Amino acid sequence: MKVSFIGGFYGSGKTTLISEMAKKLEKDGKSVLIIDNEKGNSNVDPLFVRELGLDGDELTGGCICFYLNRLKEIMNKVNDKSSKDVLFVEPVSYFLPSKLYFDLRNEFGDEIDLAPITILLDGRELKNVIEKDREFPLIDARQVKDAEIVVINKIDVLSKEDITKIEEMVYNLNQDVKILHVSAKDSTNINEIIDVVLNEIHEGTEFNSPALFQEYLKSVSGISERGEKFKFKSNKPFNKKQTQQILREVVTSIDEKISNAGGEINHIKAYIGNDNSYLKGSRPRATKEVDITGNLTKITEGRLILNVIASEVPDDLIYGIMLKTLSEINNTHQITVKT
Ligand SMILES: Nc1nc2c(ncn2[C@@H]2O[C@H](COP(=O)(O)OP(=O)(O)OP(=O)(O)O)[C@@H](O)[C@H]2O)c(=O)[nH]1
Ligand SMILES: [Mg+2]
């Protein structure tokens, strides 16, 4: 089984890309297993997914063994029950690739068939960076330095010139890297990345010096993440359009409140759905619009899941903002949302 970690900053499009690749691979007769950090759209137990994400403690050089043991467990289970062709893992967005791969190699040796270190970049965010003459964001830059493959995503909103400029920035950080361009949303150039995942191997990378690791940790330490699950019920069914509207309001309102509190958004995700279908509203750092995806057509009762990642605000403040927003939504849409 090929094991491919698709890394990249919050909102770069990892979940979208993995699910597009999985669809394509399955169509071609391959079997795929996905472990992601997506709480609304997950085909695995959310608690388990949460455990699998590298959290702050693990990053601070503490114990990564739990993570690796769980990965080992899954791999054994999969190998015993049915053999899969590819396992995709979406690690937590601020993971440090060289540290993870170093630990994976130590733990698994030759037992694991690792695809090259693949880092997805949010083309839209980098276009902003270039236009505003800002520095390449630190966490993304660190990941690019560690990468074997860099994938520039969201080319559907980029011009040829934008792509060339982003490529230059990437090569300035890492001359040896292979660059691919995709639109995960439109499935453009998906075959090229699938080809890399299936046919290329991780060649190895040096683990960073402790000094660099400390510098990296500093930039990660300001990030707060809060994921909460609520139950919701309404008097009458909501159709797709009404559900989209509610998601838009929830995301926009959380966004405004966090910005007013001096915070900076990395990614806001909101889901409304049940076991069969869902809609997801998403607002990554590069855009103010709320992008809605998913297959839900009608709902009266189900789950509302919020996942907010922001910098410069504590996570209990994020939680307070979630509750306030939901009480406003309760009033305007006559729905009951409970923890
Ligand atoms: N325009 C455009 N938008 C995209 C593309 N790929 C993903 N998106 C959008 O970007 C947003 C974030 O996508 P996700 O797949 O949730 O990103 P992620 O990297 O998994 O985010 P986290 O799990 O929070 O780290 C969503 O609104 C997607 O619809 C793309 O190729 N083009
Ligand atoms: Mg994701």
Domain that holds residue 149: 2-220
If asked whether residues 193 and 251 sit together in one domain, one would say: no
Residue 175, pLDDT above cutoff 90: yes
pTM confidence score? 0.87
In this structure, are 40 and 75 located in the same domain?
Answer: yes
Q: 182 and 271, same structural domain?
A: no
Q: Contact at 8 Å (CB) between 268 and 282?
A: yes
Residue nearest to atom 9 of ligand 1 (CA): 13
Q: How far apart are CA 162 and CA 244, in angstroms?
A: 31
Q: Which atom of ligand 1 is least distant from the CA of 120?
A: 19
Is 255 found in the same domain as 321?
yes
Domain final position from 198, 220, 242: 220
Taking each helix axis as running N to C, give the angle between helix 123-131 and helix 160-173, from 0 to 180 degrees, rounded to the nearest 10: 90
Q: Domain count for the chain, please give it.
A: 2
**Does one domain contain both 21 and 92?**
yes
CA of 140 to the centre of ligand 2 (A): 16
| Nearest to 290, CA basis, from 259, 251, 260, 322 | 251
Same domain, 228 and 103: no
Pair 202, 237 in one domain: no
Report pLDDT for 41.
38
User: Which atom of ligand 1 lies at the shortest distance from residue 153's CA?
Assistant: 31
Ligand 1 atom at minimal distance to the Cα of residue 267: 24
Ligand nearest to the CA of 269: 1
Instruction: Look up tokens 């607002």; give the residue.
Output: 283
224-268 pLDDT, tens digit per residue, is 888 888 999 998 899 999 999 999 999 999 999 999 999 999 999
203 and 278 together in one domain: no
Q: Mean pLDDT across the stretch 165-187?
A: 97
